Structure 1
Amino acid sequence: MGSNDFITLFFLVAAVLIFLQLRSVLGRRTGNEKPPLDPFSPRDVARAPGGDDGKVVTLPRRDAQEEEERFSDIDTFAKPGTALNASLRDIAKADPSFKPREFLNGAKMAYEMIVMAFADGDRKTLKGLLSKEVHDGFDAAISEREARGEVVKSTFVGIEKADITNATIKDSEEQVTLRIISQLISATYDKAGTLIEGDQETVAEVTDIWTFARDIRSRDPNWKLIATESEQ
């Protein structure tokens, strides 16, 4: 046998040995192997035992669980069975991102920003937090104050209480109304520096009824103030 034939026989034997070794490690195909995992396939279905009959078993949907958690959160803000509770649930169904607790925290922050921006005549801050109609009203009041030469000095003490009192959804717009009780130190001076309204030393309690709204279709996640009312 020539050297070339010997080399060919050597590689042939080696190939057979490798094949037998792989077969013993990997096993044989039986037709019952699980299909390869597809990371982009839906996670809410699974093949029934046996796998070949095409039947599927529906697994619990995560979004249903998350919806139930949102409803549970809503129940802490409005008693189940009330009109307010039903309205908040309607909003949560239409807008999965709506969470009463997060909304309330954001509304409190917006309330302080708006109150202080109005006192300071900060139109730029107000523009991003108010609807056009409310902004026009605030802007007119600031302009009148500036024309008279008046200056407002305010200190925001804090919010004593804030409650959701009403909620509605119309078409794609969700609206939530709050009753806010805050404490504020405010004094208005004329152009001569004379105090004409308020008191720089006294903490006053103010009760406001404010309504915030957001268009669900908008990419802007922020709510804007669309109506204000002072409770006497």
Structure 2
Amino acid sequence: MSEAFDIYTLLFLVLAVVIFIRLRNVLGRRTGNERQPFDPYATPDQKRPQPPKTNEPVVALPRGRSAPLPEAAGPSVEDIEARLGSHAPKDSPLARSLTQLMRVDPSFDPGQFLDGAKTAYEMIVMSFAEGDEASLKQLLGTEVFEGFESAIRERETRGEKVESNLIGINKTDIIESDVKNRTAYVTVKFVSELISVTRDAEGEVVEGDPKKVREVTDIWTFARDITSKNPNWKLVATESAN
């Protein structure tokens, strides 16, 4: 492991180096086809759809907005423009929202954040395929973890196993950011290529194709309490664009 990791990459490696080393040994594994969304924020009298029986669950992020925190003493205009770079067109809504985030959280850097997000993506999808709930709990928000946990348990009950091979992550882009009360949200679009197949207890293929490479687009939202000393970001919402 290089000592030159930037701060955001380190944040997404969780607190346990042992977990990271074990996960890196099997990086490249991916879950299967994407799931239909369900709303974990529905009121009790609303009927909540059950998570699908296989593959990666999807959890929606609530879209209500709150007034952002007052801006802190942060980077200069020149520094902000340099950090934005090619991540957001100048004067675009995304550039303005990222600028707001950098003013209330001066340590935020879009490029470094994306490096960490890619690492987190690989770790999370691999942990889900392996059924590694302990690792997932460190990386996911409560609602997302509950969805992943439910899907893993259902898969195990049916005796199914997921065999996945992540060929590569072709593209990662920040597509949205926001600050609600004390929490910063950053949404990332991942475009990856993978081979995935689900087998039943007898080893027969029930979903996917072991010889077919698929392009998958995932939209994930990460969140962090910017007033907390805990620097870790967690996955709080998932969506599939496929």
TM over 0.5, shorter chain? yes
Superposition deviation, residue 146 in structure 1: 0.3
1:157 matched to which residue of 2? 167
**Greater relative contact order: 1 or 2 (C-alpha under 8 angstroms, separation 6 or more)?**
2
CA distance in 1, matches of 2:77, 2:89: 17
Q: Which runs of 5+ in 2 are unaligned?
A: 1-72
1:79 is aligned, of 81, 89, 97, to 89
TM-score, with length taken from structure 2: 0.67
2:147 is aligned, of 128, 137, 141, to 137
What do you get for the CA RMSD once the two structures are aligned?
1.4
CA distance in 1, matches of 2:180, 2:220: 18
Superposition deviation, residue 65 in structure 1: 6.0
CA distance in 2, matches of 1:64, 1:219: 17
Aligned residue for 1:212, secondary structure, equals strand
Matches within 5 A, 1:11-160: 68-160=78-170
Give the structure with the higher percent helix: 1
Q: Which runs of 4+ in 1 moved over 4 A?
A: 63-67
Q: Which runs of 5+ in 1 are unaligned?
A: 1-62
TM-score, with length taken from structure 1: 0.70
1:15 matched to which residue of 2? none
2:10 matched to which residue of 1? none
1:176 is aligned, of 186, 195, 218, to 186
- Structure 1 residue 167 and structure 2 residue 174: aligned? no
Corresponding pairs, count: 170
Greater C-alpha Rg: 1
Q: Is the 8 A contact 1:118 1:138 kept in 2?
A: yes
1:44 matched to which residue of 2? none
Identity within the alignment, %? 50
Aligned residue for 1:98, secondary structure, equals coil
- Structure 1 residue 205 and structure 2 residue 228: aligned? no
1:117 partner letter: S
Superposition deviation, residue 71 in structure 1: 3.1
- Taking a change above 3 Å as real, the CA distance of residues 141 and 76 of structure 1, as seen in their structure-2 partners, is same
Superposition deviation, residue 200 in structure 1: 1.8
CA distance in 2, matches of 1:104, 1:66: 22
Superposition deviation, residue 194 in structure 1: 0.4
1:25-84 alpha-carbon deviations (Å, 9 max, x no partner): xxxxxxxxxxxxxxxxxxxxxxxxxxxxxxxxxxxxxx7666632332114211111111
2:118 partner letter: K
